[in-house]
Amino acid sequence: VSSSLSKEEIYRLRKKHVANACILFYDPDPLQIVRAQGQYMYDEENNEYLDCINNVCHVGHCHPEVVAAAARQMAILNTNSRYLSHLNSTYSEQLTSLFPDPLDTVFFVNSGSEATELSLELCRVWNDATDFICVDSGYHGHTRSAITVSNYKFGHPRGIGKPDFIQMMELPDTYRGRYRDLETAGEKYGAEAETLVENIMSRGAKVAGFIGESAISCGGQIILPQNYLKTIYRTVRGAGGLCIADEVQVGFGRCGTGMWVFETQGVIPDIVTIGKPMGNGHPIAGVVTTRRIAEKYRLNRPEYFNTYGGNPVSMAVGLAVLDVIKKEKLVQHARDTGALFLQELKLLQQRHDCIGDVRGIGLFLGIEFVKCRDSKEPDEDTAVSVKKSMYKNKIIVSTEGRYNNIVKIKPPMKFDEANVAHFIKHFDRAIFELKC
Ligand code: PMP
């Protein structure tokens, strides 16, 4: 929708009427995006920006097939999911067929936070339990229960603090953390689950479950070391709890290893939460679980009703997204482009001492800035300056991690070799100009 309002007026109205807790990128010089296509976004003067962070617009901003599916269905029918709909049935079948057995049942919701809420409740019901194990720096959503398992939020200086019914695993960071040997770190970090289960028992409580991202995003683009989830799952299941894999950011092939990143850990979760890329920008999310877990919920709770969850328009969008991923071979594309990107970033690391680490799988990458490679002292200033410099060159990246010293990359999956070259050229120049 075009607007006759000036950018200044749009900014003024936003500041006046939208809650200030909702922040803008690049404030006080925010970006107004008026349209987007593929991996590119355009401002009101038609300047083109390379989008390196929007993992929601997974198959590309405004993909014509997804747009057409939504528009077509919007003109035919949209209603709640209490009526039979061929779209709902077909999408449920297609989606669950992408998961290993026994994950054959889905609840449709509208956001990652809702998916987290429901997944936690499924665990509580399963074992009539209250206590959860989560991971340091994790993020699973903005609602109250989701915040209780999200150290990224509860641990913030203005956060609610860690509740008593939550135990937190150390971040399995093989660059900066306690264990760095890739062969053994997973088991060593994972072993902490035993102590945390004991802590829960000694409170006289029961283990409801474990929740963890299959690759940790807000925590700093952390790739889980091998055997990490296997070790945790064994312990948590031994104590009667369920295991939730949060694939809200990384699912649907972003990491190029297959559709789901938990598969790289050789585990099958009891519950998987999915969202963001699922609707390519349309609000749709889900909780995929087993028939037995869903049945236990049905027998012990009232009907699960969610006004918009599973509506025909969302289902049409979901189907179109799956279709595009398959037709355009986006998982293989993410694997190949991601491998090239990582290789190029490693070359940059050789040229610039301020890059302490580069890591990633597929199109999920992180570049960690340090003041000194030996001490690994985090360098937030350089990371933020590089981000600003990239912005001046119309390349959008963001910074993350406990010390905000990690530049994170998770672009639409259309991101290609030419985009990698363009990114590397400007990233190199930005660091060079900072003389670090
Ligand atoms: N889980 C993860 C891993 C996320 O990154 C997010 C959103 N950043 C959520 C859950 C919550 O999703 P939403 O914002 O759609 O509620």
Total tally of structural domains belonging to the chain: 1
Mean per-residue pLDDT, 299-311 = 97
Q: How many CA atoms lie within 13 A of 268 on its CB side?
A: 10
The residue whose CA is least distant from atom 1 of ligand 1 is 140
* The ligand 1 atom nearest the CA atom of 143: 16
| Residue 9 belongs to a domain | no
**Is residue 89 in a domain?**
yes
- Give pLDDT tens digits for 110-126: 999 999 999 999 999 99
**What is the Å distance from ligand 1's center to 141 Cα?**
5
Q: Tell me the one-letter amino acid at 241.
A: G
Confidence of residue 436 (pLDDT cuts 50, 70, 90): low
Q: CA 141: distance to chain centroid?
A: 10
Expressed in angstroms and rounded, the spacing between residue 161 Cα and the centre of ligand 1 is: 19
Query: What confidence tier does 397 reach under pLDDT thresholds 50, 70, 90?
Result: very high
Determine the residue of 54, 56, 58, 113 to mutate for testing ligand 1's pocket, defined as the one with the most ligand atoms within 8 A of the Cβ atom: 113
Alpha carbons 120 and 113: distance in angstroms, whole number = 11
**Distance from C-alpha of 391 to C-alpha of 430, rounded to nearest angstrom:** 10
Residue 435: per-residue pLDDT: 72
Within a domain: 416: no
- Whether residue 170 is contained in a domain is answered as yes
Distance (Å) from CA 142 to ligand 1 centroid = 8
Show the ligand 1 pocket: residues with CB < 6 angstroms. 111-113, 116, 139-142, 213, 217, 246, 248-249, 275
If you measure from the C-alpha of residue 217 to the centroid of ligand 1, how many angstroms do you get, rounded to a whole number? 10
**4 pLDDT higher than 90:** no
Q: Is 139 a domain residue?
A: yes
Domain contains 401: no
Interval between CA 111 and ligand 1 midpoint (Å): 7
* 216, 276, 308, best to mutate for ligand 1 pocket (most atoms within 8 Å of CB): 276
The answer, yes or no, to whether residue 1 has pLDDT greater than 60, is no
pLDDT at 2: 63
Domain containing residue 284: 64-327
The ipTM assigned to this model is 0.99
Q: How far is the CA of 274 from the centre of ligand 1 (A)?
A: 9
Is 248 within the bounds of a domain?
A: yes
CATH number at residue 261: 3.40.640.10
CA angle 290, 292, 297 (to 5 degrees): 100
Residue 236 in domain: yes
Looking at this protein, which amino acid is placed at residue 267? V
Residue 75: burial class (beta carbons within 10 Å; 0-12, 13-18, 19+): exposed
